[in-house]
Amino acid sequence: MTLAIDGGTPVRTAGWPAWPPPATAEQRRLLLEVLDGGEWGATSGTKVGAFARAFAASMGARHGVCVVNGTVGLFLALRALGVGRDDEVIVPAYTFVASATAVVLAGARPVLADVTPDTLHLDPSAVERVIGPRTRAVMPVHLAGAPADTEALGDLCRAHGLASVEDAAQAHGASRHGRPAGTLGDAACFSFQSSKAMTAGEGGIIVTDDDRVHERAWSLHNVGRRLSGGWYEHPELGWNLRMTEFQAAVLLPQLGLLDGQIAARERAVAFLAGELEAFDGLDLLPAPEGTTRSTHHLGLLRYDSAAFGGRTKAEFIAAMAAEGVPLDAGYRSLSREAALLPYTEPVPCPVAEAAEDAVVWLRQHLLMADDEALCDIVTAAAKVRRAFRGP
């Protein structure tokens, strides 16, 4: 059977569910309410504050501070916890570059630690090896929507007097041992960028149970004002990093949709796991042990090139795309990211580097598809495997 990339007929010609999903009537109503009301900024409107309270409560946290994006949220959370010049923050090597650049933005130095081979989450033993006298914080990343091993990492943080800032950009609604992501460290940051489970195009939020961290993060994002202070009272240096009322209007109705969307992705991942159980060459990576709810922001697949005739991951992705199944190459290991070299010490991260070479992603909009579409993923992979292996 000829591959579509070589002129054959694609396995799938139908599209995939859109992300973000189509706008709801409630989103349209709230957007027009903001537009017509004329109170477009967070300092005069009510929707940003309402969303911050509702989101924090839904994640089990006491406080929320809405900001312009998730990267800024990480930066502000670190600063609110006292991280600054000459400090070090440990981040996983397999994550989006913003986890590290937020540390640089805070004036500190990112220190890379490798990830676990089975889940690609931050490896506590690798963290322990790189803790030094300047380490001030650890940043567990809840990769693909499943929380990291925050118990082991929390033990390390307590033993060494370190702060813990969760990068929960992909983990809206996730939980570990029954505790929601966002309440597993000193502070957590969620993203509302276009690809995320809840989105306003851009945006982010810091959540915390700590009154002091909340007050400081609120001040830093609001040009140094105090919660109970005057408009032109700026007791510390801050920035204007506030969310708009328009973004909050788009986000508020999504809180009511999140559980249903997570359930749809949970069903899709369970279905795919069954279809791939006996499939040679593609393995669905598990969530870390202890995960009680994953948002399945991504489906992580380990590609075994030997089972596909020695063909590279890039060749596999190209062939699958031609068959109508768009896969993503995923992250580069931060240990190979040239832009970070001036800010980090070279640290070998063999697990993250192997993942860069072998792991492919199913983005969440594919996991919102029906069973027929999910079967097309496996059918296309089998077709590509047969062609790559040759006669």
Active site residues: 196
The H or E element that residue 388 is part of is helix 371-389
Q: How far apart are CA 142 and CA 128, in angstroms?
A: 19
Q: Which two tokens stand for residue 19?
A: 């992300």
DSSP-assigned beta bridge partners for residue 284: 301
Place of tokens 């393995």: 283
**Count of CB atoms situated within 10 Å of the CB of 233:** 10
Written as one letter, the residue type at 54 is: A
CB contact at 8 A, 251 and 244: no
Measured in degrees and rounded to the nearest 5, phi and psi for residue 342 equal -65, -15
Residue type at 129 in one-letter notation? R
Long-range contacts of 150-153 (CB under 8 A, 24+ apart): 150/176, 150/184, 150/185, 151/177, 151/290, 152/124, 153/122, 153/124, 153/127
| Residue recorded with tokens 């991504």 | 298
| 3-state secondary structure at position 79 | helix
Q: Return the sign of the alpha-carbon dihedral for residues 321, 324, 325, 331.
A: positive
CA distance 182 to 58: 10
What is the 8-class DSSP label of residue 335? G
Which residues neighbour 159 within 8 Å (Cβ) at sequence distance 6 or greater?
none
CA Rg, the chain, in Å?
22
Reported residue count of the chain is: 391
Neighbour order of strands in the sheet with 282-284: 282-284, 298-303, 359-363
Asked if the peptide bond before residue 20 counts as cis, ω within 30 degrees of 0, the response is: yes
Cβ atoms of 344 and 100 closer than 8 Å: yes
